[in-house]
Chains A and B, each alone.
Chain A
Amino acid sequence: MLIHRYLTIFGRYLMLMGRVFSVPERMRMFMKQYVKEMAQLGVNSIGIVLLISFFIGAVICIQMKLNIQSPWMPRWVSGYTTREILLLEFSSSIMCLILAGKVGSNIASEIGTMRVTQQIDALEIMGVNSASYLILPKIMGMLTIMPFLVIFSSATGILGAYATAYIGHVLPPDDLTLGLQHDFKPWFMWMSIIKSQFFAFIISSVPAFCGYTVEGGSVNVGKSSTDAVVSSSVLILFSDVFLTQLLS
């Protein structure tokens, strides 16, 4: 019974995506919405991404120094592990989990409110493909802005690590630099960006589906917002396992 329910929801999601990925009726309107969504979903998230990345970078560096560094380990090990954690997992997966909360609830509640206040019906009556008009710019906007967020997050995380070295004197800055540069594989950066593209799609499309299919009133909009965050977070975690396996 549960499988049947999930398959039904998945089928409805696929049908909605079928409507979303159609040629926009007016490219001018699409571009206007696209730029607006990039600013609203992406640029407005830069602050929180930088803040969290800076502190997580600092904390990871301190933890690595305290728990891994020992006389038997090379002195670059703290910097090396900090870089690998930031690049491989934090800046893509964990940062997207955080964004699933911020952006996901925003998308679900915005579209859900439009649904219950009949704004989506108004679009349909005008002959506008409401799914494409509302959701496509959000998905494309998130896909476009996400690589920048990942790069900013990695860079700020490393800045946080340097802050512990220069300000906190947790480890010598030279050791940190040595670790950060040791055996650097550019592919890991690409891997992080590729993963984030999948997560960006999940973060924008799943909450949009939750909002678009709301029935009832404001209570259901709130519920859809919660469902959106939970569903997209779980999907990010699941897909992270497969993507890591696939791309490593």
Chain B
Amino acid sequence: MIEVKNLCKSFEDKEVLKGISTVFEDGKTNLIIGQSGSGKTVLMKNLVGLLDPTSGQVLYDGRDFVGLSKHEKVMMRREMGMIFQSAALFDSMTVLENVMFPLDMFSTMNLRERIRRAQDCLDRVNLSRDADEKFPGEISGGMQKRVAIARAIALNPKYLFCDEPNSGLDPKTSLVIDGLLQGITKEFGITTIINTHDMNSVMGIGENIIFIYEGHKEWQGVSSQIMHSDNTRLTDFIFASDLLKNMRQLVLDKENVSR
């Protein structure tokens, strides 16, 4: 479990995060949603320690990450996996080498075991063996995201962070990625935090959703509550287009009639 207590982050005069407090639960897909510039990515970077908060606490199973020493932070990071918006695969390495990298660095396995483990991870994300020897530049965006997921789970992390994993992907591939993330979360019982704009993800896999609005937590709940929410900022964001607004109205009208 990751607990955030009164997290604030400022860049010079600009206050980006304004006292966010929330809990990201184990074995659940926790989603952070919000408009561009609302502070989602800054929140995630504070969670993983790529940025230091101005004030507040980030507690990993009770351990305050902000207060840890540099060495303790490094050790803690070995329990984390992260999937970046751009996949962030190492250009100079093949797909298999990318997935093997964390194993090469931190595991005590021999070469054969490391290869087998990397191939298991690639199998888990449904990537065929044909892709093993290809470089990231030679595979599609969706495949790159799957390789990034395989790399992130190679060391069996306790916490998985995903920064807009569906960005740049078509709706069908996005569903595949969402399914994989949800499956992995359940299978390994990890705490997964996903930063997303994708409304399919919100409605499909959102078990704990935090809506950030202008740097503060505006709303928290599950996907089934969104349809009936009276928070206009949330509904305006989720049902942004006229089509979605009309569809929501139709659903609500239908429910009222059936009552």
| A and B from one complex | yes
Residues of A within 8 A of B (CB): 25-26, 28-29, 113-114, 117-119, 121-122, 124-129
Q: How far is the CA of A124 from the CA of B76 in the complex (A)?
A: 11
14 A-B pairs with CB atoms under 8 Å apart are: A29-B104, A114-B90, A117-B91, A119-B91, A121-B50, A121-B84, A122-B82, A124-B50, A125-B80, A125-B81, A126-B77, A126-B101, A126-B102, A127-B76
Which chain A residues lie closer than 8 Å to B89 at the CB level? 119
Question: From residue 72 to 105 of chain B, which have CB atoms closer than 8 A to chain A?
Answer: 74-78, 80-82, 84-86, 88-91, 101-102, 104-105
Question: From residue 40 to 94 of chain B, which have CB atoms closer than 8 A to chain A?
Answer: 48, 50, 74-78, 80-82, 84-86, 88-91
Residue B106 at the A interface, CB < 8 A? yes
Q: How far is the CA of A122 from the CA of B101 in the complex (A)?
A: 11
Which chain A residues lie closer than 8 Å to B82 at the CB level? 121-122, 125
Q: Nearest Cβ distance between residue A16 and chain B, in whole angstroms?
A: 15
With known contacts A124-B77, A125-B50, A127-B74, A117–B104 Cβ distance under 8 A = no
Structural contact, B84 and A122, CB atoms closer than 8 A: yes
Q: Which residue of chain B has its CB nearest to the CB of A119?
A: B88
Structural contact, A118 and B88, CB atoms closer than 8 A: yes
Which chain A residues lie closer than 8 Å to B90 at the CB level? 114, 119, 122
Q: How far is the CA of A113 from the CA of B136 in the complex (A)?
A: 14
Q: Nearest Cβ distance between residue A115 and chain B, in whole angstroms?
A: 11
Q: How far is the CA of A244 from the CA of B2 in the complex (A)?
A: 59
Residues of B within 8 A of A (CB): 48, 50, 74-78, 80-82, 84-86, 88-91, 101-102, 104-106, 161
Q: How far is the CA of A223 from the CA of B248 in the complex (A)?
A: 50
Which chain A residues lie closer than 8 Å to B74 at the CB level? 127, 129
Structural contact, A121 and B88, CB atoms closer than 8 A: yes
Structural contact, B80 and A117, CB atoms closer than 8 A: no
Known pairs A114-B90, A126-B78, A128-B105. 6 more at Cβ < 8 A? A29-B105, A118-B84, A119-B91, A121-B84, A124-B77, A127-B75
Q: Which residue of chain A has its CB nearest to the CB of B79?
A: A127
Q: Most A CB atoms within 10 A — which of B77, B90, B102, B105?
A: B105
Structural contact, B104 and A122, CB atoms closer than 8 A: no
